[in-house]
């Protein structure tokens, strides 16, 4: 077909003349034409008040000036409600599960004459880890997820995606990455799967690699707890929840900044290319169906995430108990591991227990905090047992007491744990998902190790700065 080859050649020549902006010109022309036709056909009668109101909302929520402040404000309010609301039920659950039920179980075991190792393995290991996960995670999740789902159903999240699109485009990434990032706030594995909506393989890889910077379900409770006891507690009581919420928002925003920086870095180095354009609908605002939302977010998110956490916590509890109670040369495996990791941990402004906890918690981020607490208690047990101190961790103040008293934590440890919680390897489910989606050992490795590397650099930086400035 000589004729068609000639046409193609001519098209290629003309294309070069337009230097690649045909798509944008076209999109604008089509829209201008549509506006013209619609303008002739549509007449507005009556009082279209609702439409005006929606337009006004969109102007504010997606405005260049107000868009981001409103977004930060919304996030702060959501976390403030979560933190302020979760305190009391968390304490009640803890005193029930770690207090009453825990003691009752030990009494039953004593009465039944169960050997110490069996009672220890089952009650101090498997049960306690599970109870921790439930009392630490259930109340914040039960408040946070319905609030988040309400925002989603109101139609606010697409506006956030719209605001972020500009930034992603500047970072050389696909605007839809704003959506996959949102999905990652639920679960990174789901976020990675959701990158299928991005068609360009280059932009999709960027979205997959950076998805881990979206704080997932498993990490929100860690941030909320540490933000509450280390940062909120430094403020006057009236402001404590608000300051704690601000610190969580700050970490989440830092995650967005890292997403953009790493995207920009990748799109200028290994994954070079232009950002492609797409349409994003700003759906009409809909009054959310509150009860249905609460019900579905309880079932869909809270219980499912909790179930996963419990399934992961039970074996982790078993592992923690075993490594804390099997002795090699006078001290337990956990103590050996903690001592081995301690120098690196301290260098990063963390400690050996935290690093070990992150190794134990590779299957699920949800169990980081329970693991840290149990390891801290177990490693310090030898000294405790002699003094006969009885510890009841039935409120957050006690958690603070254990971490600072027994674990030697400082403000820096708290802050760096929050940073490390943002910047560390994805959980094993996410790593598997990345492998399934990319089928590339190279990119799976990059996606797994890049965040840890960043975490180490950032934590080392803050720790060094804090030391140089004499803050600790």
Q: Which is nearer to other proteins, 17 or 330 (CB)?
A: 17
Smallest distance, Å, CB 58 to other proteins? 12
Rounded to whole angstroms, how far apart are CA atoms 292 and 296? Answer: 6
Nearer of residues 287 and 330 to other proteins, judged by Cβ: 287
Smallest separation (angstroms) from other proteins to the CB of 154: 15
Q: How far is the CB of 439 from other proteins (least distance, A)?
A: 16
Nearer of residues 52 and 307 to other proteins, judged by Cβ: 52
Residue ranges in contact with other proteins by CB under 8 A: 1, 3-8, 10-12, 14-15, 17-18, 22-23, 25-27, 29-35, 37-38, 40-48, 50-51, 196-197, 199, 276-279, 281, 283-284
Helical (H) or strand (E) element with 328: strand 327-328
Closest distance of CB 379 from other proteins, Å: 49
Question: In the complex, what is the shortest distance from the CB of residue 16 to other proteins, in angstroms, rounded to a whole number?
Answer: 10
Q: Are 201 and 258 in contact (CB under 8 A)?
A: no
Q: Which is nearer to other proteins, 11 or 359 (CB)?
A: 11
Asked whether the beta carbons of 400 and 229 are under 8 A apart, the reply is: yes
Q: Quote the least distance from Cβ 70 to other proteins, whole Å.
A: 23
Report the distance separating Cα 186 and Cα 204, nearest Å. Answer: 19
6 vs 103, beta carbon nearer other proteins? 6
Q: Least distance to other proteins from the beta carbon of 198, Å?
A: 9
Q: Closer to other proteins at the Cβ: 284 or 329? A: 284
Output the six-digit token pair for 423. 């910047």
Residue 465, number of CB atoms within 10 A of its CB: 12
For the record, the structure tokens of 273 come out as 């290319």
Residue 374 and residue 127 in contact, taking contact as beta carbons nearer than 8 Å: no
Handedness of CA 118, 120, 122, 123 (dihedral sign): positive
Q: 100 or 436: whose CB is closer to other proteins?
A: 436
SS3 assignment, position 332: strand
Q: Which two tokens stand for residue 60?
A: 């504010």
Give the separation between CA 245 and CA 232, rounded to whole angstroms. Answer: 8
Of 155 and 184, nearer to other proteins (C-beta) is 155
Bridge partner residues of 331 (DSSP): 328
Residue 37 or 60 with smaller CB distance to other proteins: 37
| Cβ 273 to other proteins shortest distance, Å | 14
Rounded CA gap, 310 and 127, in Å?
10
How many Cα atoms sit within 13 Å of 351 on the Cβ side? 20
Smallest distance from the beta carbon of 259 to other proteins, in angstroms? Answer: 22
Nearer to other proteins by C-beta: 45 or 387?
Answer: 45
| Neighbour count for residue 250 (Cβ, 10 Å) | 17
For 200, which DSSP code?
S
Largest CA distance in the chain: 94
What is d(CA 145, CA 153) in angstroms, rounded to the nearest whole number?
A: 12
Shortest reach from residue 203's CB to other proteins, in Å: 12
3-class state of residue 331 by DSSP: strand
Pick from 153, 148, 202: which is nearest to 177 by CA?
202
Query: For residue 137, which of 308, 361, 351, 318 has the smallest C-alpha distance?
Result: 308
Q: What whole-number distance in Å separates Cα of residue 215 and Cα of residue 208?
A: 14
Nearer to other proteins, 193 or 422 (CB): 193
Token pair in block for residue 309: 């956490």
Residue closer to other proteins by CB (options 283, 408) is 283
CB of 278 to other proteins, least distance (A): 5
Minimum CB distance to other proteins, residue 298 (Å): 26
What is the C-alpha to C-alpha distance for residues 78 and 160, in angstroms, rounded to an integer?
A: 15
Spatial distance between the Cα atoms of 104 and 429, rounded to a whole number of angstroms: 35
How many angstroms separate the CA atoms of 149 and 145, rounded? 6
Tokens of 170: 């500047």
């Amino acid at each position: 077909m000589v004729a068609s080859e000639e046409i193609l050649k001519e098209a290629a020549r003309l294309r070069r003349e337009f230097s690649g902006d045909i798509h944008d010109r076209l999109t604008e022309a089509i829209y201008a034409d549509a506006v013209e036709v619609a303008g002739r056909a549509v007449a507005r009668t009556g009082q279209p008040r609702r439409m005006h109101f929606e337009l006004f909302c969109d102007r504010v929520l997606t405005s260049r000036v107000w868009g981001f402040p409103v977004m930060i404000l919304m996030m702060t309010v959501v976390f403030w409600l979560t933190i302020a609301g979760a305190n009391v039920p968390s304490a009640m659950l803890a005193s029930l599960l770690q207090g009453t039920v825990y003691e009752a179980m030990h009494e039953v075991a004593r009465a039944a004459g169960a050997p110490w190792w069996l009672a220890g393995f089952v009650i101090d290991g498997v049960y306690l880890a599970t109870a921790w996960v439930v009392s630490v995670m259930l109340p914040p999740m039960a408040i946070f997820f319905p609030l988040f789902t309400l925002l989603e159903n109101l139609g606010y999240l697409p506006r956030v995606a719209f605001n972020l699109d500009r930034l992603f485009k500047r970072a050389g990434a696909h605007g839809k990455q704003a959506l996959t990032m949102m999905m990652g706030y639920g679960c990174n594995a789901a976020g990675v799967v959701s990158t299928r909506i991005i068609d360009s393989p280059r932009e999709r890889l960027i979205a997959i690699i950076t998805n881990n910077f979206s704080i997932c379900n498993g990490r929100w409770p860690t941030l909320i707890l540490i933000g509450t006891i280390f940062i909120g507690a430094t403020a006057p009581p009236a402001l404590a929840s608000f300051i704690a919420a601000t610190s969580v928002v700050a970490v989440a925003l830092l995650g967005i900044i890292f997403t953009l920086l790493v995207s920009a870095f990748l799109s200028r180095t290994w994954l070079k290319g232009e950002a492609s354009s797409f349409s994003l609908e700003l759906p009409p605002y809909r009054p959310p169906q509150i009860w249905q939302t609460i019900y579905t977010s309880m079932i869909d998110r809270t219980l499912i995430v909790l179930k996963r956490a419990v399934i992961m916590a039970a074996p982790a509890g078993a592992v923690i108990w075993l490594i804390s109670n099997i002795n090699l040369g006078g001290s337990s495996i956990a103590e050996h591991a903690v001592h081995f990791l301690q120098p690196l941990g301290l260098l990063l402004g963390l400690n050996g227990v935290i690093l070990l906890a992150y190794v134990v918690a590779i299957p699920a981020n949800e169990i980081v905090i329970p693991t840290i607490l149990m390891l801290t208690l177990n490693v310090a047990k030898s000294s405790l047992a002699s003094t006969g101190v009885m510890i009841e961790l039935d409120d957050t103040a006690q958690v603070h007491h254990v971490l600072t008293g027994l674990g030697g934590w400082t403000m820096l440890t708290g802050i760096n744990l929050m940073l490390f919680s943002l910047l560390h390897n994805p959980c094993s489910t996410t790593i598997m998902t990345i492998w399934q989606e990319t089928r590339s050992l190279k990119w799976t490795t990059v996606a797994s190790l890049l965040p840890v590397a960043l975490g180490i650099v950032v934590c080392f930086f803050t720790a060094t700065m804090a030391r140089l400035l004499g803050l600790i």
